[in-house]
């Protein structure tokens, strides 16, 4: 049995957001680039951004994960919570460009069957 070890590069978890909206004021699509890690220390930031998007009536959310360097099981749980919340208001969340090391965690925990993960 082989083991995969993941070493975080940074001692202090950080999470940044780049929110991109369409010029169309009526659009309910938003793209959010995630930069850093979603884990216990950064979950409150992530929740605040997600709650703000829901309050603004955003229905379709594309999470750009190319710069998401780490996610733990708690982070995946929160992500699934918001995927369910968006679905409950006839919305949708999709993940794009998920890094291999992040995808490994997603698959090991079985979340790849629960989240919309777009390839490429």
Number of domains in the chain: 1
DSSP H helices in the chain:
43-55, 73-88, 100-108
Please write the tens of the pLDDT for every residue from 47-106: 999 999 999 999 999 999 999 999 999 999 999 999 999 999 999 999 999 999 999 999
Q: What is the mean pLDDT of the chain?
A: 87
Query: Pick from 15, 10, 65, 9: which is nearest to 40 by CA?
Result: 15
> Is residue 97 a part of any domain in this protein?
yes
pLDDT computed for residue 4 by the predictor: 38
pLDDT at 1 > cutoff 50 = no
> Is residue 94 a part of any domain in this protein?
yes
pLDDT computed for residue 87 by the predictor: 96
CATH number at residue 24: 3.30.750.24
pLDDT computed for residue 7 by the predictor: 41
Report pTM. Answer: 0.84
- Supply the DSSP symbol for 115: S
Between CA 24 and CA 73 the distance in angstroms is 36
């Amino acid at each position: 049995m082989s083991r995969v070890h993941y070493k975080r590069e940074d001692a202090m978890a950080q999470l940044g957001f780049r929110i991109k909206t369409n010029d169309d004021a009526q659009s309910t699509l938003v793209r959010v680039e995630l930069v850093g890690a979603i884990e216990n220390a950064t979950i409150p930031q992530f929740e605040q951004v997600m709650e703000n998007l829901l309050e603004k009536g955003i229905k379709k959310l594309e999470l750009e994960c190319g710069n998401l360097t780490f996610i733990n099981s708690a982070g995946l749980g929160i992500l699934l919570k918001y995927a369910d919340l968006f679905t409950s208001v006839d919305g949708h969340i999709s993940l794009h460009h998920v890094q291999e090391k992040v995808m490994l965690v997603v698959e090991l925990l079985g979340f790849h069957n629960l989240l919309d993960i777009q390839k490429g």
